[in-house]
Amino acid sequence: MARFILGRLVKAVFILLAILVFNFFLIHAAPGDPAAVMAGEAGAGDPTYLAELRERFGLDQPLYVQLWIYIKGAVQLDLGYSLRQQMPVAELIADRLPATLLLTGVAFVLSLVFGVIAGVAASARQGSWGDTIISTLALLFYATPLFWVALMAALVFSVWLEWLPGFGYQSIGAGYTGLAHAWDVTKHLILPASTLGLFFMAIYMRMTRASMLEVSRLDFVKTARAKGLKRRVIQRRHILRNALLPVITLAGLQAGQIFGGAILTETVFAWPGIGRLMFEAINQRDYNVILGVFYISAAMVLLFNLITDVVYVIIDPRIRLTG
């Protein structure tokens, strides 16, 4: 197992490097550059001013030189400097990381737990009214655009019912500490986390349900029943454990996105996370910030793919890891 993990990590480094180079060219292929965007926002385009900005940002260098400088830094885990915000990219990302992890992490756990439970419940009595309700809801959540759900949730729970704050990470200027602060953040977290979680919850539910039904028709389940095992035990130990593999594959994918944030949800709910940082950086062509977020996200996806593979082994002993 150790050899397998080591081998994968070595490969990951090369994949990461390839992703970096690819991203670098991708971003530079987009029209416009940060200097033009900044001058544009100032509504002035004195050519000497633009030239001064480009020189300050190092954009007057040939592309391969810029790439070399970036790769050299990235290899040493130096993500460079935000041209626009005049701050180290690592610092910018670190600032946004707690909020993002809280949002995507909670959404991940919520959607996985409730999705699997709902899937198991629905599959237990296929065709019953309970199954119909759960399946219909899941289809609805799966098909509704996220931004619409987000806006409606804000409208209903924040504007009409006034139960929950509609945006932000905390009550600004309230100066809460300790438990009061935790409760305040929790209240702010409910709408964005459940909005973000709904879509994945629907996927997990559908996947769990389908997979459970499929496994429950297999011979070994019949055997278990014939042995006289209790229905509950068969469900949990025989069916669910086998049915979880596809769910884990998906969970691994979602987990990889945890560090990338959630652009739509963060934007609608003014959640100060990484998704927004990246989206704004793309609009502003703040190259180093975009590359920095991509770099970290890519690393996380690779890491979680590896973890997923290891989890397979734990859940299903038939699977062997070979480097």
* Cα 14 to Cα 137: distance, rounded to the nearest angstrom: 43
Instruction: Tell me how far, at minimum, the Cβ of 61 lies from other proteins, in Å.
Output: 17
125-155: buried (b, 16+ CB within 10 Å) or exposed (e) per residue?
eeeeeebeebbebbeebeeeebeebbeebbe
Contact set for other proteins, span 196-235 (CB under 8 A):
none
> Which one, of 206, 193, 190, 100, lies nearest residue 143 by Cα?
206
Stretch that binds other proteins, among 72-80, 121-129, 165-173, 232-240 (CB under 8 A): 165-173
- Determine the residue type at 263: I
Instruction: Tell me how far, at minimum, the Cβ of 289 lies from other proteins, in Å.
Output: 11
Place of tokens 């509504």: 43
142 lies in the site for other proteins, by CB under 8 A: no
* Cα 67 to Cα 140: distance, rounded to the nearest angstrom: 45
Binding mask 247-266 for other proteins (x = CB under 8 A): -------------------x
268 lies in the site for other proteins, by CB under 8 A: yes
Stretch that binds other proteins, among 64-72, 81-89, 110-118, 250-258 (CB under 8 A): 81-89
With CB under 8 A as the contact rule, the residue among 2, 14, 29, 44 that binds other proteins is 44
Stretch that binds other proteins, among 27-35, 125-133, 223-231, 233-241 (CB under 8 A): 27-35
Task: Please tell me the count of residues contacting other proteins according to CB under 8 A.
Answer: 55
* Cα 95 to Cα 274: distance, rounded to the nearest angstrom: 9
Place of tokens 């050299």: 72
With CB under 8 A as the contact rule, the residue among 31, 175, 178, 228 that binds other proteins is 31
Stretch that binds other proteins, among 50-58, 117-125, 175-183, 245-253 (CB under 8 A): 50-58
With CB under 8 A as the contact rule, the residue among 8, 96, 209, 238 that binds other proteins is 96
167 lies in the site for other proteins, by CB under 8 A: yes
With CB under 8 A as the contact rule, the residue among 9, 10, 26, 42 that binds other proteins is 42
Q: How far is CA 26 from its chain centroid? A: 21
Instruction: Tell me how far, at minimum, the Cβ of 51 lies from other proteins, in Å.
Output: 9
277 lies in the site for other proteins, by CB under 8 A: yes
Stretch that binds other proteins, among 1-9, 210-218, 220-228, 282-290 (CB under 8 A): 282-290
Q: Which is nearer to other proteins, 206 or 276 (CB)?
A: 276
Contacts 24+ apart (CB under 8 A), 57-65: 57/83, 59/33, 59/34, 59/35, 63/28
269 lies in the site for other proteins, by CB under 8 A: yes
Instruction: Tell me how far, at minimum, the Cβ of 259 lies from other proteins, in Å.
Output: 16
Stretch that binds other proteins, among 15-23, 121-129, 162-170, 211-219 (CB under 8 A): 162-170
* Cα 176 to Cα 112: distance, rounded to the nearest angstrom: 31
Contacting positions for other proteins (CB under 8 A): 30-33, 36-50, 52, 56, 84-87, 92, 95-96, 99, 151, 154-155, 158-159, 162, 165-169, 172-173, 266-270, 272-273, 276-277, 280, 283-285
